[in-house]
Every structure is written in C-alpha cells, then in structure tokens.
Amino acid sequence: MSARRAINLGLIGVGTVGSGVARILAEKHDVYARVLGCPLVLKSALVRDLAKPRPGLPPGHREILTSNPDDVLDDPDIEIIVEVWVGEHPAFEFISRALEAGKYVVTANKEVMAKHGSHLVALARERGVDILFEASVGGGIPIIAPLKRDLLANRVLALSAIINGTTNYILTAMTRDNADFADALRAAQGLGYAEADPSNDIEGEDARYKLAILASLAFRGQVRVEDIYREGITRLTARDFRYARELGYAIKLLALAREVEAGVQARVHPAFVPLDEPLAKVDGVLNAVQVEGDLSGKVLFQGRGAGSLPTTSAVIADVLDAAQSIIGGRRQVHAREESVTAIVPMSELRTRYYIRLTVADQPGVLAQIARILGEGNISISSVIQKEADEDAQTAELVIMTHLAKEASMLEAIRLLENLKPVQAIGSFIRVEHQ
C-alpha cells in the first residue's frame, strides 16, 4: 500500500514510561512493522540530563538521546512526537511546537491536556494533524478513543469514574485493614503506590485533571479544570469505613460528571457507593470509568490505571493510529469542540448525604437535629445511634438523608455546628447511587 521505508518517532521524556515505550518499540519492532506495512523507528529522545544512567533503556539506545529539544522538534524526518514529560511546562511548549511543525503528537500528559486540550486539538486540526492522548487517563484502559469514536452516536448522560490509583489503593487498604488515613498513606508510600509528596493524588487534583479531559470529550465542549469541584480523601476515618460497610456501601474517590437541566455537574470527592454497584468493587490500583449514553445505556471500562506497561499500551496504540493516518493519507475530521461547557455550581447539586456527629447523650437532641434538617427540606432516611461514650456522656449519631440540595445541606451543617448539644460534625460524605 505504501512505498514508505519507515515512520520516524521522536520521544520527549525518558523516565519510567518513556523507557517502557522505547523498550517495547524495540522488542515488538517486527510485529508493529507487519501491522503498518513499514517499520516505526525511534530516531531521537529528549532528556534533561544526558549523564543520568537509564537502566530501563533498551540496548543501543544511548546514542539517540539528546538534551537539545531542537534535535527532536526540528527534525523534518520525525513525523510523530511521543511526549511523556511530566508537568505543564515545558511540555506544553514542546507539544505546541511539534503541532505547529505539522507533526502528530501522542501524549500521556494529563495536566497539559486538562488545561490546554481544547487549544491543542484546535491547533492540530488547523495543521491537518492530530493530538492523541489515550494514555492521559486510565493507563491501559481504552477510554479516550471509545468516547471519541465508539460512543459518538450517543448523548452522554453521565460519567462516573475511579481514575486515581493511589487514592483507590489507600481507600481499599482503609476498608480491608480498618486503618486510618495516615497509616494507609504511609503503607502506600512504602510500597511505591504513593509519592513522597502525595498531595496531587490525595487532594483529588490528579482525578480532576482526568475528569476535565473525559468530560470535555463526553459533553463536547471544554470542561475547565477550575470549574470542577474538588475534595480529597484526607479527612476520612476508619470509623466512616466501618459505618459505610454496615450500611451497605463502599467509600470511593469518585470523579463524576452528569448532565442536568441547567448544564453539567462536575465534581471529584469521596462518596458512599452502594456495594452492589460495579464501581464499589473496583479495588486496589484498578481504575474504572462508567459512561452512560442515551443509546448505549451504562458501559463500564475497567483495568490497570497506571504503571509503565499499561501506559505504554495506550501510548503505542496512539502511535500506531497516528502512523496509520500518515500512511493512509487521512485528513483529520474532528467534532467541533470549541465551546466551553457550562458547569452548574456545586450549591445546586442534589444528592444524598451521610453525616456523622458527636452529640451530648441527653434527651431531645435528635429532635433538635431533625428540626434543623426538616427546615432545610432535608428528609432523613435513617438514623443510627452508636457507641455512647459513658465517660464523656456523648453519643455518636449517623444520619443518612434522602435527596437534598447541597446549599441546604451546607446551611444545615452550619446550624448543626452551632447547636449546643452537637460537639462535633465528624464527617459529611455524599452518597452516590449511579
């Protein structure tokens, strides 16, 4: 079909993922050449520090390393750039230069795609090329391409996802070991599942980037990172996990986006998930994304959301796709996605709530609490009184509500905090039925 002798790649970043990509391209050279009808050749690779040892790199690859971006980005023989640098800058500038030069770009960079995806896709279209980012969300799970292609006939009604492996590992450990957050985090750090500075993961920022990417595709208009409500997992306690299980729920860090009358809701926060729903069973470092389409119904995609090999699987799938576009002479056709999706303020949310309070163990307290909730139009679905502490003369109350408005709930929480017999609001967690 093609008289091409090879398609040359340039690699930007040779860390864990970059080395994995280089190694698999070398190991599977012949397989990929058969798929395409011509070989893929990794021609040069940009690193920050040429002197650093790179044990993961396959034999014979040291000579393609360079610390000069021009060697990769200005090489006219290179048609596809694989960007696996970390962080926003200078990755964004590298990608922009590559697209400007009419090169295809394959990226795993969720921060750049979350913040600049709309601009970069438009730039790629303008230059008649494409930017592919399957590896930016969900590691080896196909989810970007399914949203762009396979579910394109649908109007997406909702996305519900577990897309941060570190927090899911920690939450699974808290459930299994009845551990507190700090202990579970330390254990995860010891095993390499959490970084020394874990804040991006545990505060939900990583999940927010990924949700911005997914929701922008699903709702066909840019969902801005800063419009997504975000709450991390640091305040969860072993006690909440115990109550959750008793009540028939798991606790997960969910990334949710849903079409409602006034626009789209988009939020990342810990949530009670009913144990019989698929997302409740996504444990450890697994990731899962559930997409509800008006035609397809609910479709679940589940697998390993991180790691060098799963990410390499996604990166090379995009490389092969880009190479096929180059060989097939395809001009890119994109859905027009230049609008910004209006995100409904969090105060407008209607959901269910779990509240745990420590109260004075005396008559009439529940009546006072129920009155405050009732005045906010919040109806109670169940109350459990737990573990009276005889010394302190306190009791613990666990309240589950029916659907209520977030603004009313926050106001009720404020009033409850000021109620004399209420000593503390221990937790306040949204309950999400998909």
Annotated catalytic residue 298 = no
CB of 300 to a copy of itself, least distance (A): 4
Q: How far is the CA of 221 from the CAs of 34, 35, 62, 187, 343, in angstroms?
A: 38, 34, 42, 40, 11
Q: Which of 10, 18, 146, 198 binds a copy of itself (CB under 8 A)?
A: 146
Alpha-carbon distance of 422 to 359, in angstroms, equals: 4
Task: With beta carbons less than 8 A apart as the criterion, state whether 378 and 409 touch.
Answer: yes
Q: Does 249 bind a copy of itself (CB under 8 A)?
A: no
Q: Which of 79, 83, 111, 134 binds a copy of itself (CB under 8 A)?
A: 134
Alpha-carbon distance of 370 to 161, in angstroms, equals: 33
Q: Which is nearer to a copy of itself, 24 or 105 (CB)?
A: 24
CB of 240 to a copy of itself, least distance (A): 24
Task: With beta carbons less than 8 A apart as the criterion, state whether 179 and 172 touch.
Answer: no
Q: Which is nearer to a copy of itself, 162 or 315 (CB)?
A: 315
Distance of CA 192 to the CA centre of its chain: 19
CB of 233 to a copy of itself, least distance (A): 24
Q: Report the interhelical angle of 110-126 vs 205-218 (nearest 10°).
A: 30
User: Which residue out of 115, 210, 252, 405 is catalytically annotated?
Assistant: 210
Residue span binding a copy of itself (CB under 8 A) among the ranges 234-242, 290-298, 374-382, 390-398: 290-298
Task: With beta carbons less than 8 A apart as the criterion, state whether 273 and 430 touch.
Answer: no
Q: Does 320 bind a copy of itself (CB under 8 A)?
A: yes
Q: Does 330 bind a copy of itself (CB under 8 A)?
A: yes
Alpha-carbon distance of 79 to 243, in angstroms, equals: 55
- Name, in order, each residue with C-beta under 8 angstroms of 145's C-beta and a sequence gap of 6 or more: 134, 317, 321
Q: Does 113 bind a copy of itself (CB under 8 A)?
A: no
Q: Does 274 bind a copy of itself (CB under 8 A)?
A: no
Q: Which is nearer to a copy of itself, 105 or 132 (CB)?
A: 132
Element (H, E) at 175: helix 165-177
Token readout for 372 is 């405050």
Q: Does 140 bind a copy of itself (CB under 8 A)?
A: yes
Interior/surface letters 115-153, b for 16+ CB within 10 angstroms, e for the rest: bbbbebbbbbbebebbbbbbbbbbbbbbbbbbbbeebee
Q: Does 314 bind a copy of itself (CB under 8 A)?
A: yes
Q: Does 309 bind a copy of itself (CB under 8 A)?
A: yes
Within 154-183, the residues that bind a copy of itself by CB under 8 A are: 154-155
Q: Which is nearer to a copy of itself, 148 or 239 (CB)?
A: 148
- Specify which residues 19 forms β-bridges with: none
Q: Is the peptide bond before 90 cis (omega within 30 degrees of 0)?
A: yes
For 239, phi then psi, to 5°, come to -60, -40
Size of the site for a copy of itself (CB under 8 A): 61
Residue span binding a copy of itself (CB under 8 A) among the ranges 25-33, 61-69, 367-375, 397-405: 25-33
Q: Which of 44, 265, 313, 358 binds a copy of itself (CB under 8 A)?
A: 313
Within 27-66, the residues that bind a copy of itself by CB under 8 A are: 28, 31-32, 34-37
Q: Does 414 bind a copy of itself (CB under 8 A)?
A: no
Token readout for 310 is 């799963």
Residue span binding a copy of itself (CB under 8 A) among the ranges 87-95, 150-158, 381-389, 400-408: 150-158
Positions in the binding site for a copy of itself (CB under 8 A): 1-2, 24, 28, 31-32, 34-37, 134, 139-142, 145-146, 149-155, 278, 281, 293-304, 307, 309-310, 312-317, 319-321, 324-325, 327-333, 335-336
Which residues are marked as active site? 210
